[in-house]
Amino acid sequence: MYPKGFHPVRINRSRDFKGKPPQYNRTQRPPRYNLIYSSVSRQYNTRNALDEPLSGGNRSAPEHWRLGRCNPFRTDIYYLGDLVREHFMEVNLLGLVCFIAYRAFQEYNGFEFMEGLVKSMTHTAPMMRPRIEDVVARFSRIRESLSVAKLRSLITSRWDSSIITAFRHTGQAIRTVWYIISKTPAISVPIMDHWGCLDKGLCFIVEVGIYVN
């Protein structure tokens, strides 16, 4: 996205701070995301493993509020679903300190097609959550069911004013015409021929991120 890099403090400035750096968006140059949390990582010989929940940054999984061991792979599914829910669909304005009084507010328009999948991934019963292969397969079916117009539509925030939204729609229309002329696809399709289970989960997050931008 930034072929010549950017300033470490101001990403909208070049490295020498003399101007704006050449920049592409995620549609033009799809990035690859890696979710890394090595300080609390564990390795298991089987997916049927049982262990105490890891005390990482996200403690909203129901397993953290219950006594006993749980399947860490099912908890990871919750984390992936909750990431999409929190950063794309809802915003928790009160934080985990007020977990009992938790209130979720819709953040963006246009993500209603993800509600069913995210709900199943964040099911309160761990064993009711899908495996990562099922998540990727279901997301692929959802993506394929969306029209070209939907895939190229603008993601708007519920907090933007009508004037800002109208301005963004104009810019999106111009970019869309250029993308169609240049045969730039609405979203990229990652290659998963030899990816492992975790990489497939990352692929799921990558595709959602590309759709947003």
pLDDT at residue 192, as a whole number: 46
Show pLDDT as tens, one digit a residue, over the chain (213 residues): 888 889 988 888 998 888 999 888 878 887 777 777 666 778 888 888 888 887 777 788 888 888 788 898 999 899 889 988 888 777 544 444 444 433 345 567 778 888 899 999 999 999 999 998 899 899 989 988 988 888 888 777 766 667 777 777 788 888 888 888 888 888 766 544 433 344 444 455 545 544 443
pLDDT at residue 159, as a whole number: 65
Domain ranges of the chain: 38-212
Secondary structure of 43-63 in the HEC alphabet?
CCCCCCCCECCCCCCCCCCHH
The SS3 assignment for 157 reads strand
pLDDT at residue 186, as a whole number: 81
